[in-house]
Amino acid sequence: MVAEGNYEEAISNLEEDLRNPFSMQGLTVAYEKTGDKEKAARLTARLAGFNEPLIEQAVVVIPFRESHAVANLQAGTQ
């Protein structure tokens, strides 16, 4: 749903699965696309701090942390 741009429906579905990093990542995008920056920021912090020994952490969380660290550095230099 996120990939199709159906953000409102994605949000209602993804909010039910907040223990899954894949869902959390999609939900962060959906919040950002709908302009809910406060929820996006809270979920970004939560996902960046996610630390459970699951394959999802290696596939989603570590690259997510790295991309947000770069974005934060770039935002600070502008």
Tally of domains within the chain: 1
Distance CA 52, CA 35 (A): 29
Nearest to 60 by CA among 22, 29, 20: 22
Instruction: Report if residue 33 sits inside a domain.
Output: yes
Model confidence at 14: pLDDT above 70: yes
Instruction: Report if residue 1 sits inside a domain.
Output: no
pLDDT digits (tens, 9 = 90+) for 35-73: 999 999 999 999 988 877 777 777 888 888 888 876 766
Instruction: Report if residue 23 sits inside a domain.
Output: yes
Task: Check: pTM over 0.85? Answer yes or no.
Answer: no
Instruction: Report if residue 21 sits inside a domain.
Output: yes
Structural domain for 50, as ranges: 7-77
